[in-house]
Structure 1
Amino acid sequence: MVDYLDPSAIENEMESVDDPISSNETDSQTHLLSGVHDEENINESEQMLKQSSEMIAREGLRERMTARRRSRLECDSAEGEEILLDPKEFPPLPEASDPSIFEEMRADGEAALAAGMEFLSETSEKAQRIIQRVITDVWKQTHFHHLPEWLKDNDFLHFGHRPQIQSFRECFKSIFRIHTETVNIWTHMIGCIAFVAVATYFLAAENFAWTEKWMFSAFFAGAVLCLGFSFLFHTVYCHSQSVGKFFSKLDYCGIALLTLGSFVPWLHFGFYCRSVAKHIYIGVISVLAITAIVVSLWDKFSEPAYRALRAGVFVALGLSGVIPAIHYVSSEGWVRSVHEGSMIYLVLMGVLYVSGAVLYACRVPERWFPGRFDIWFQSHQIFHVLVVIAAFVHYHGISLMANHRFTLGACPQISDTASWFVS
């Protein structure tokens, strides 16, 4: 009997049927009738071979796609590149087998083989889902050039960047890992917590009346919001472009609020007995702060190309305090301004803020040594540290002003016009 699953046997049988010398007329008729039946068997065999070939092709495609992914990961690892693979880059693999094939195999009495192949197919699919989930949940540092465009901010920092992490949970877990934003996150997170503690202690104390505590509250609110928004921005901005833009706007608004909050208590105690000047200056700085906030809401304001503009806007907002400072010194004299107005602390605060902003805008020192300050001592980190120090310096200064103010007693009775210059 011919094995119709063996192509060579089929070919030999066909040759024997077609050979006129090897058969007589009766045999030819017999072969002709049997050939019809044989042709049906051949077609059935060819169909089974075709189905088997399709299964082999699917398995081959699966192996090729798996090998290609493995090759890509090995290549990235060899180059020192560590990236977070986007699950969208991994479309679902084709099914290892068509369910209809399993049914046909069972109908042909091969239920055990069908059950085994179906089990292997389901196991393979589950393993693939697990692999994709692991790839999604685990991120690794990557080089600047492999970041998406919206994550590229400072090209002088080469390695150690976080890739896009589309999970808020993973973004917050990254606080405890080393990367380019680690120091930026921790400096302002610790600063925020410290000011919450100081504000709680100050407001719970009975050293000042609540009227005066409200003036300090403006400063505490500005400091906590500024440092808190900055901490959140540096933690989650790698989540997505929309999330990054939203929190960058909060970050810039926080800077304006800190500047405004820093001036309110100093103006209140510095011009304590000159209500006209005090209210005018507080009004002007409030308008300027609101203007800075409106400008910072512009979508392109956070782009790297506008780094100098960002620094300029907030430096200009801070330097607007030079006018009331000159007014105070001209009316009180330098000696009284230093001892009673905490002018030294005000100047020191301004120097720290401006120095940090200049380093941030110029990207020094990483500009001079690209790739050397990827993780530690980059300009943004120095800026963050200077901001926290400046805020505590200012708090110490306004505390001294407030204590001295209340040793002077009530304000003298003077006209509103005279109160513009006379203490």
Structure 2
Amino acid sequence: MDGVKHTSEDSELISETIEKLPVSVSMEGKGKRLWKKVKYQLVEYNSLPAYLRDNEFILGHYRSEWPLKQVLLSVFTIHNETLNVWTHLIGFFLFLSLTIYTAMKVPKVVDLHSLQLPEVLKADLHKLQECLPSLPNMPDLHKLSGELKSTLPSIDLLPSFSRWHVMDLLYNCLPERFSHSNQTDVCVLRSMKEDVANMIAPLMLRPITRWPFFAFLGGAMFCLLASSTCHLLSCHSERLTYILLRLDYAGIAALISTSFYPPVYYSFMCNPFFCNLYLGFITLLGVATILVSLLPVFQNPEFRTVRASLFLGMGLSGVAPILHKLILFWHQPEALHTTGYEVLMGIFYGIGALIYATRIPERWMPGKFDIAGHSHQLFHVLVVAGAYTHYQAGLVYLKWRDLEGCRGT
């Protein structure tokens, strides 16, 4: 029929195929599930598409072009990016906690309207207000009434020398009836002086602005979160990888540029010209680097030198203000203390960059550090350590300027 001759052997083969059809159909569902399991298995370096090949010394445990759902769930599984994701994700939550802690611990000026004072002080505090008119935001002391408050807000944050300094100022400001007194009244005078000093001292410490410090904390959190997201999701597709890498570079630029805000602002807050000069320069350089990282036109090979130069320039731009700070405040222990932290931060970042560039230790034993211990993970840990060191330097700056202001500058 139709010019085709069928042999008996052909007929037997067709009948066998028909008999097996129900079995094949019943196995279809299981086959699909098995294929999904095989499809989302980790692969070796040689099986990767070109855009995912980055480190030839990490030989296996790669995710390659997985669906977004599987990629998101892989944050809880073991592969060669697991620790890359979690080292910076934990760092992000660390700095988020530090930001909240710092915001809650900002010293607040004591509101004397909320204090309740002993009767013996009420009549005399108004004279103290007239004697010390320079105290900031001194309230109407005639409105104070009630019982003595058990504790004063933020008094523990004040150094003892500040309270004693206030006590010295109060000697000539106390009522005249204490000027000529017996030994008992002298004891009362001393006790009263200390009580009043403890209440007035917080008013003399007005916390300086915190925005440069919080700008640094924001830059650190953006960098760490962008890096963690990039390592988690970049195996999904080439397009997403391209976007996330640009975001990762922008995060690095944000961290570097905002890191200079606290040292520059708090070192030169009393010298507006240099403060604006250094802040303006690093801000422009940071914005330029972020734009170069994000705009597609700058991703062409001919702009590689420009990109590298901008990142290097941002790192070196911190040398001038630090040296300038040391020249201006060589007699201040806080200047040396903060510089020590900044040098340590630079060491952490420098060692991390060196390890990242040389791909040590996996280049010595390819395949042995696929899961844990390879260079990018060590680089991440050192970045978090450097940023935390800079956070400690920022606390020194805040304490220094809160207490000293612009005195001696």
8 Å contact from structure 1 (residues 340, 404) kept in 2: no
8 Å contact from structure 2 (residues 223, 251) kept in 1: yes
Give, in angstroms, the shift of residue 227 of structure 1: 0.4
Return closer, same or farther for 1:212/1:337 CA change in 2, 3 Å cut-off.
same
Aligned partner of 2:401: which letter?
R
Give, in angstroms, the shift of residue 53 of structure 1: 6.4
8 Å contact from structure 2 (residues 63, 79) kept in 1: no
Aligned partner of 2:73: which letter?
K
The separation in 1 between residues aligned to 2:103 and 2:93, in whole angstroms, is 16
Query: How far does the alpha carbon of each residue in 1:244-301 deviate from its partner, in whole angstroms, 9 at most, with x for none?
Result: 1111111111111111221112211111201111111111001111222122236598
8 Å contact from structure 1 (residues 341, 401) kept in 2: no
Return the match for 1:149 from 50, 55, 69. Answer: 50
1:292 aligns with 2:289: yes
8 Å contact from structure 2 (residues 285, 310) kept in 1: no
Matches within 5 A, 1:191-202: 191-202=91-102
The separation in 2 between residues aligned to 1:56 and 1:297, in whole angstroms, is 63
Question: How big is the alpha-carbon RMSD for the aligned residues of Structure 1 and Structure 2?
Answer: 3.5
Bigger RCO (CA 8 Å, 6+ sep) = 2
8 Å contact from structure 2 (residues 326, 336) kept in 1: no
Give, in angstroms, the shift of residue 349 of structure 1: 0.8
The separation in 1 between residues aligned to 2:355 and 2:244, in whole angstroms, is 22
Matches within 5 A, 1:224-303: 224-297=221-294
Matches within 5 A, 1:329-408: 329-333=326-330, 335-336=331-332, 339=335, 342-408=338-404
Q: What is the match of residue 174 of structure 1?
A: 74
8 Å contact from structure 2 (residues 89, 224) kept in 1: yes
Give, in angstroms, the shift of residue 190 of structure 1: 0.4
8 Å contact from structure 1 (residues 184, 380) kept in 2: yes
Give, in angstroms, the shift of residue 221 of structure 1: 0.8
Q: What is the match of residue 148 of structure 2?
A: none
Q: What is the match of residue 221 of structure 1?
A: 218
Larger Rg: 1
Q: What is the match of residue 130 of structure 1?
A: 33
What SS is found at the alignment partner of 2:210?
helix
Return closer, same or farther for 1:221/1:381 CA change in 2, 3 Å cut-off.
same
Query: How far does the alpha carbon of each residue in 1:106-154 deviate from its partner, in whole angstroms, 9 at most, with x for none?
Result: xxxxxxxxxx877445424444433334434x422x2222221111101
Aligned partner of 1:234: which letter?
H
What SS is found at the alignment partner of 2:55?
coil
Return closer, same or farther for 1:304/1:378 CA change in 2, 3 Å cut-off.
farther
What SS is found at the alignment partner of 1:273?
coil
The separation in 1 between residues aligned to 2:337 and 2:305, in whole angstroms, is 32
The separation in 2 between residues aligned to 1:124 and 1:402, in whole angstroms, is 69
Return closer, same or farther for 1:310/1:156 CA change in 2, 3 Å cut-off.
farther
What SS is found at the alignment partner of 1:180?
coil
Give, in angstroms, the shift of residue 350 of structure 1: 1.3
8 Å contact from structure 2 (residues 325, 335) kept in 1: no
Aligned partner of 2:107: which letter?
N
What SS is found at the alignment partner of 1:407?
helix
Return closer, same or farther for 1:131/1:271 CA change in 2, 3 Å cut-off.
same
Matches within 5 A, 1:35-74: 52=11, 55=14, 59=17
Q: Which runs of 5+ in 1 are unaligned?
A: 1-41, 60-96, 98-115, 413-421
Return the match for 1:184 from 84, 91, 100. Answer: 84
Return closer, same or farther for 1:214/1:225 CA change in 2, 3 Å cut-off.
same
What SS is found at the alignment partner of 1:342?
helix
1:139 aligns with 2:49: no
Aligned partner of 1:267: which letter?
V
TM-score with structure 1 setting the length: 0.65
Q: Give the count of matched residue pairs.
A: 312
Q: What is the match of residue 326 of structure 1?
A: 323
